[in-house]
Amino acid sequence: MSEAAAPAAEQIRAGAQSPPPGALRDWLEQMLVIRQFEAESVRLSLAGHIPGGIHSSAGQEGVAVGTARALGPDDVVSGTHRSHHHALAKGLTPREVMAELFGKADGCAGGRGGSMHLVDAGRHFLGSNGIVGAGLGLAMGAALAMKMRSQAAVAVGYFGDGGANTGRVWEFINLAALWKLPLIAVCENNLYAVETHISQAMAGESVAARAGGFGLPAETVDGQDVLAVYAAVRQARNRALDGQGPAFIEAQTYRYEGHNVGDVQNYREKSEVADWLESRDPIDRLRQRLAGQGELDDDGFAAATSRAADIVADAVAFAEASPWPDTASVNRAWPAAAAGRP
Amino acid sequence: MARHRLGEPRLAGRGGRPAVTERLTYSQAYRAGLAEEMTSNDLIFVMGTDILLRGGHFAQVFGLGERFGADRIRDVPISEAAMVAAGVGAALGGMRPVVDLNFLDFAFGGMDELCNQAAKIHYMFGIPVLFLMHKALTGVRGEVGGPADYIPFGLARIVREGGDATLIGYGATVRTCVAAAEQLAAEGVSAEVIDLRTLYPLDLETVTASLRKTGRAVMVDESPGYGGVSAEIAASLSEAAFDYLDGPVMRVHAPHSPVPQSRVLLEALLPGGGQVAAAARALIARG
């Protein structure tokens, strides 16, 4: 990183806040729900219940939960095509997300959006997005509105290592930095854009190193450590609320499943997947931390896992029982539009 | 030039005259309308390249920078993707941004943001709107209404009444239609001229009512004909007004070509009043 960027990274380290007591167990449960939700959605997709493709986020729970828990109630998040974890962590219920995947009327987008248009105005989730890098632009615009309206809020825009090679991502970063917008750009670097490894796609040493060139603090974080993610986002948020402008976080993470359901994954070794699962799993690491602090024993973890399974099973049952959207409404604006802006 | 607000229109709409008239150029009218709305609504702001001091490449917001300041007449770096995304995101955040692309040619730099993002956001949340001003009209003068005059979307305007043929245009081709109508009037043919004003939603009702009278439609479009606006309207009229038509919907449009630089080539490419009048005559000759 450039000399100017290095001290800035130190600055955003200072002032980190710890999560409230007892919060970590809640985070663990959320991550368990996401993990099981993804496993179920893959199974249901293979069984033909989910039209179109889905992109599993299993393995990336730490980034989504660490980020979401660092945000306030008015903060806004925009996602990517791989966003089930972002949506669930932001507060969309497993029921409404699953129903949306099924294309049912009770889905968060009335069945019209599916996996890549999960939207929730009330919970400030601008949506998952089928266009690589595009969500960051919406978050940047939302941050502009926050600044112009003097709102004490920030916007988080996710994108991936693939998105980091689009021009648009850096056009959005440039504008956010120029106007000192309260934007937190979070790059989930999971090493692969579909089947292309970053060594085959990305010039330069790191994604965070690129951001430093725009004069904003940029750091690389272990995305599999939910607390590290939380701390980084918390500090970036404090900075933004203080009027100091945007920050860039590159979270190093990994997806256990292929790019999409049905991906044969002949571009990576099974041993690599196993290695991440065995030694860098975000759920496992948080569990070990809690166990080490005497806050969670094996029975407790088993109970939490079981609760998560129940929640997901309930979501699937809800989706299956939910009615199909009214076909007469196909051309009309989605009813929730009347509910107002995110 | 139309300004839009949801709610009750004050104008009669189809052929109604505004209550207060003033003669301004399109550019002045755009500026005046925008300034009026910006004065009464703090949420409106403009983003574009070179708009603060220069006022845009057609002086479309000249002087507004001084009046409203750099926050609300906001210069952006050259990135259509960023400015359109900023506009869509800010609209979602409750602001009312106007993204001024200056030249329509530049819209393609923000095409994903327009087509994949804004269009779907529109479907979900009812925003935003694409407003196109023809660069050849910026200096043309016409009557405008006052601050209380609003024209809703989806309402065409009858520019000139007539009974023998209906000439349909939008933007710059409205004047082409009027020129054709004047030529035809000298030959004893009375042509009705309709200004569509909005392409979507389209006021087919007004056009159909005119065709009930005239039975003859000529659609004038500066764009190439293939898959364009004139094709859409011809198809729609054939569905909606077939029984009133005494002949096919004639289209006068540009050939399938980019726009050439040389003035003589440009004049040859663009539809002219003479061609429109000829199309009307051809329909009349059918009987």
Chains A, B: CB pairs < 8 Å: 118
pLDDT(B16) > 70: no
Average pLDDT over all residues of chain A: 92
- Is pLDDT at B2 greater than 80 in this prediction? no
Report the residue of B71, B74, B79 to disrupt the A interface, i.e. the one with the largest count of A CBs within 10 Å.
Answer: B79
Interface touch A142/B120, C-beta < 8 Å:
no
Q: What is the mean pLDDT of residues B214-238?
A: 95
Distance from CA of B235 to the nearest CA of A (A): 20
What per-residue confidence (pLDDT) applies to B18? Answer: 52
Q: Could you tell me the pLDDT band of residue A18, with boundaries at 50, 70 and 90?
A: confident
Nearest CA in chain B to A179: B76
Task: Return the pLDDT at B182.
Answer: 98
Q: Note the pLDDT of residue A318.
A: 98
Region B251-278 average pLDDT: 94
HSE-up (13 A, CA, CB side) for residue B199: 15
pLDDT at residue number B120: 87
Q: Is A121 on the interface with B (CB under 8 A)?
A: yes
Q: How far is B29 from chain A (nearest CA, A)?
A: 27
Contacting residues of A for B124, CB less than 8 Å apart: 109, 112-113, 117, 119, 333-334, 336-337
Q: How many angstroms away from the CA of B81 is the closest CA of chain A? A: 6
Would you place residue A15 in the very low, low, confident or very high pLDDT band (cuts 50, 70, 90)?
Answer: very low
Kindly determine whether residue A167 and residue B85, on different chains, have CB atoms separated by under 8 Å: no
For B167-205, what is each residue's pLDDT tens digit? 999 999 999 999 999 999 999 999 999 999 999 889 999
> What is the C-alpha to C-alpha distance for residues B59 and B69, in angstroms, rounded to an integer?
16
Q: Which residues contact B44 (CB under 8 A, 6 or more apart)?
A: B34, B37, B38, B72, B95, B96, B97, B98
pLDDT at position A333 = 63
Model confidence pLDDT, tens digit, residues B40-87: 999 999 999 999 999 998 889 999 999 999 999 999 999 999 999 999
Residues above pLDDT 70, as percent of chain B: 92
DSSP secondary structure letters along B115-138: IIIIHHHHHHH---------GGGT
Task: Chain B: give the shortest CA distance to residue A246, in Å.
Answer: 15
Q: How confident is the model at residue B148 (pLDDT cuts 50, 70, 90)?
A: confident
Closest chain B CA to residue A168: B81
Hey, are the CB atoms on B82 and A172 less than 8 Å from each other? yes
pLDDT of residue B3: 34
* Mean pLDDT score across all residues of chain B: 90
Contact B112 A171 (CB under 8 A): no
Q: What are phi and psi of B39, to 5 degrees?
A: -70, -40
Q: How far is B115 from chain A (nearest CA, A)?
A: 11
Cα A56 to Cα A37: distance, rounded to the nearest angstrom = 9
For the segment A23-28, the average pLDDT, to the nearest whole number, is 96
Q: How far is B60 from chain A (nearest CA, A)?
A: 23
Kindly state whether A241 is in contact with chain B, defined as any CB-CB distance less than 8 angstroms: no
Determine what percent of chain A falls in helix, strand and coil, rounding each to the nearest 5: 50, 10, 40
Rounded mean pLDDT of A115-142? 95
Percentage of the residues of chain A whose pLDDT score is greater than 70: 92
Distance CA A101, CA A116 (A): 9
Name the phi and psi angles at A298, rounded to 5. Answer: -60, -40
Kindly write down the DSSP assignment for every residue of B56-71, as one continuous string: STTSTTTTHHHHH-TT
**Which residues of chain A have a CB within 8 Å of the CB of B84?**
137
**A146 neighbourhood in chain B, CB within 8 Å:** 93
pTM attached to this predicted model: 0.90
The per-residue pLDDT for A5 is 41
Mean pLDDT of A257-270: 95
| pLDDT value of residue B149 | 85
User: Which residues have C-beta within 8 Å of that of residue A77, sequence separation ≥ 6?
Assistant: A67, A68, A71, A86, A90, A124, A125, A126, A139, A155, A156, A157, A158
Set of chain A residues whose Cβ sits within 8 Å of the Cβ of B122: 333
Mean pLDDT of all residues in A309-316: 98
B130 pLDDT higher than 90: no
More confident residue, B286 or B14: B286
Q: Give the closest-approach CA distance of B56 to chain A in angstroms.
A: 19
Confidence (pLDDT) at A4: 41
Tokens of B250: 């004639």
Average pLDDT for A173-191: 98
* Chain A 163-202, residues with CB within 8 Å of chain B CB atoms: 167-168, 171-172, 174-175, 178
Q: Which segment of A71-75, A276-280, A326-330, B240-244 scores lowest on mean pLDDT?
A: A326-330
pLDDT over threshold 50, residue B147 = yes
Q: What share of chain B is helix, strand, coil (3-state, %, to 5)?
A: 40, 15, 40
The mean per-residue pLDDT over the stretch B10-34 comes to 72
**Average pLDDT over every residue of B29-40:** 94
Task: Give chain B positions within 8 Å (CB) of A130.
Answer: 116
Task: Note whether B113 contacts A134, CB cutoff 8 Å.
Answer: yes
Residues 46 to 85 of A: which have CB under 8 A from any B CB? 76, 78
Residues in B touching A113 (Cβ below 8 Å): 124
**Cβ within 8 Å, pair A126-B91:** no
**A52 pLDDT band (50/70/90 cuts)?**
confident
**Within 10 Å of residue A183's Cβ, how many Cβ atoms?**
34
Contact B89 A334 (CB under 8 A): no
Cβ-Cβ contacts under 8 Å, A131 against chain B: 112, 116-117
Q: Following DSSP, what letter does each residue of A192-232 receive, concatenated? A: EETTEEHHHH--SS-HHHHHHTTTS-EEEEETT-HHHHHHH
E strands in chain B: 22-25, 44-48, 73-75, 96-100, 141-144, 157-160, 165-169, 191-195, 217-224, 250-254
Given a contact cutoff of 8 angstroms between Cβ atoms, the answer to whether A184 and A156 are in contact is yes
The residue ranges of DSSP E strands in B111-269, in sequence order, are 141-144, 157-160, 165-169, 191-195, 217-224, 250-254
Which chain A residues touch B93 with a CB distance below 8 Å? 76, 141-146, 149, 341-342
pLDDT (mean) for A138-154: 98
pLDDT band at A334 (very low <50, low <70, confident <90, very high): low
pLDDT of residue A6 exceeding 70, the answer is no
Asked whether the ipTM of the predicted complex exceeds the cut of 0.90, the reply is no
Percent of chain A with pLDDT over 90: 86
Chain A CB contacts of B111 under 8 Å are none
Tell me if chain B has a CB within 8 Å of the CB of A156.
no
At residue A103, the pLDDT reads: 95
Which of B45, B86, B92 is closest, CB to CB, to A342? B92
- Contact criterion met (CB < 8 Å) for A337 and B86: no
**DSSP class of A120:** B
